[in-house]
């Protein structure tokens, strides 16, 4: 087997809708408080897309930024791998809509349904396409309009989620030792009903009953998901480090999925990474599922926390259950 790295993350670009929903706004809609939300989650506000703003449009904006920053053009793309839990339509994929918007005439395009770790799953697929010789340049996207599948009458979930998109150009590694050093993805589908959308799919197609029961919205057993997230994120950190042959001391930056500040702190503690080396922006965006890792990574890059050679550990957990991690030398 050819030694890693096969592929490098050449850039990251994001798009965030301008509309902001603050905790104060939510207190006018639900029986909740800013204190409760901040103390239990760390979230202060989240961005919400306008009705006409699609996941493909947000993805397009983020992708153009990622392409420009990598010095690439849409025709360079051999594949578009788009992770989302809130696709614009059930058929065809949102990746195909993005392919059309970009005019990426040489690209295959498909969606990945892996919920919050979707970006890590997509990164893993992109690395595999490059390692197998199928592709040289892959666009990896994590994009969500979770506001359309969030029940704003349910205080246990409505406070958590937000909209946004992030994209990375992943290409054959050209710099020795730089790139994706390891990836790890795993799942446990037995726990699906702890975080899911019961209705609206082919088991229970959209109907008056589904709409009246509000079963097309996300349902979550928060406390159980919290416990599983802490355990799985810890396991995923260990596995990515082991596979990369990297110790916790060598990690310059931990970029965890932004679901809950308490989960982030527990993950950092387990990984042995001090909070000064952890990227946190859950306060500004809430949980944006598959967009969460690129939104945090891009902010770290913009703030000058990532340089050539920076060793980054990314880790995420979500519905499925699914979880995953990667070590990247930038």
As annotated, the active-site residues are 116, 257, 287
Q: How far is the CB of 161 from ligand UT7 (least distance, A)?
A: 8
Question: Is 152 one of the binding residues for ligand UT7 (CB under 6 A)?
Answer: no
Under rule CB under 6 A, residue 318 binds ligand UT7? yes
Give, as ranges, the residues between 89 and 108 that touch ligand UT7 (CB under 6 A): none
- Residue 41 binding ligand UT7, by CB under 6 A: yes
For residue 310, the minimal CB distance to ligand UT7 (Å) is 25
Alpha-carbon separation of residue 250 from 6, 23, 242, 328 (angstroms)? 21, 37, 12, 12
Site for ligand UT7 in 113-132 (CB under 6 A): 116
Establish if 155 lies at the interface with ligand UT7 (CB under 6 A).
Answer: yes
Q: Which stretch binds ligand UT7 (CB under 6 A): 34-42, 56-64, 103-111, 139-147?
A: 34-42
DSSP string of 33-62, one letter each residue: -HHHHHHHH---EEE---TT--HHHHHHHH
Closest residue by Cα to residue 289 from 114, 157, 96: 114
* Residue 223 binds ligand UT7 (CB under 6 A): yes
Interacting span for ligand UT7 (CB under 6 A) from 54-62, 126-134, 144-152, 257-265 = 257-265
Tokens of 267: 């993950």
b/e 201-210 (16+ beta carbons within 10 angstroms → b): eeeeeeeeeb
Q: How far is the CB of 158 from ligand UT7 (least distance, A)?
A: 7
Find the DSSP H helices in 71-205: 94-102, 118-131, 155-158
- Spatial CA neighbour of 110 closest among 118, 263, 247, 294: 118
Q: How many residues make contact with ligand UT7 (CB under 6 A)? A: 19
Instruction: Compute the distance between CA of residue 191 and CA of residue 225 in angstroms, rounded to an integer.
Output: 9
- Give the residues across from 182 on adjacent strands: 327
Pick the binder of ligand UT7 from 225, 241, 273, 282 (CB under 6 A).
225
Q: Is 40 in the site for ligand UT7 (CB under 6 A)?
A: yes
310 binds ligand UT7 (CB under 6 A): no
Binding status of residue 229 toward ligand UT7 by CB under 6 A = yes
Pairing type for strands 163-172 and 137-145 reads antiparallel
Give the binding site for ligand UT7 (CB under 6 A): 32, 36, 40-41, 116, 155-156, 159, 222-223, 225-226, 229, 259-260, 263, 287, 317-318
């Amino acid at each position: 087997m050819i030694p890693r790295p096969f592929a490098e993350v050449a850039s990251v670009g994001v798009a965030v809708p301008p509309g902001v929903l603050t905790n104060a706004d939510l207190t006018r809609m639900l029986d909740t408080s800013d204190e409760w939300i901040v103390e239990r989650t760390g979230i202060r506000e989240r961005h919400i897309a306008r009705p006409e703003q699609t996941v493909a449009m947000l993805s397009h904006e983020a992708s153009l930024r990622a392409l420009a920053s990598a010095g690439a053009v849409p025709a360079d793309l051999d594949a578009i791998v788009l992770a989302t839990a809130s696709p614009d339509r059930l058929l065809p994929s949102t990746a195909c809509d993005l392919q059309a918007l970009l005019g990426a005439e040489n690209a295959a395009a498909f969606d990945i349904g892996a919920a919050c770790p979707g970006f890590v799953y997509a990164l893993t697929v992109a690395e595999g396409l490059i390692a197998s010789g199928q592709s040289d340049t892959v666009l990896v996207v994590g994009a969500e309009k979770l506001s359309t599948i969030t029940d704003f009458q349910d205080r246990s979930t409505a406070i958590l989620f937000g909209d946004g998109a992030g994209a990375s150009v992943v290409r054959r590694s050209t710099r020795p030792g730089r790139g994706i050093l390891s990836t790890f993805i795993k799942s446990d589908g037995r726990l699906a009903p702890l975080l899911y959308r019961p209705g609206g799919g082919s088991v229970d197609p959209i109907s008056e009953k589904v709409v009246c029961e509000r079963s097309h919205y996300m349902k979550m057993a928060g406390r159980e998901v919290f416990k599983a997230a802490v355990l799985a994120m810890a396991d995923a950190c260990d596995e990515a480090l082991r596979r990369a042959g990297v110790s916790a001391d060598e990690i310059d930056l931990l970029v965890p999925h932004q679901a809950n500040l308490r989960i982030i702190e527990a993950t950092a503690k387990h990984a042995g990474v001090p909070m000064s080396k952890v990227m946190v922006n859950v306060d500004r965006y809430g949980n944006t599922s598959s967009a969460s890792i690129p939104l945090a990574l891009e902010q770290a890059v913009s703030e000058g926390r990532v340089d050539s050679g920076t060793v980054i550990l990314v880790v995420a957990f979500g519905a499925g259950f699914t979880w995953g991690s990667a070590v990247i030398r930038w």
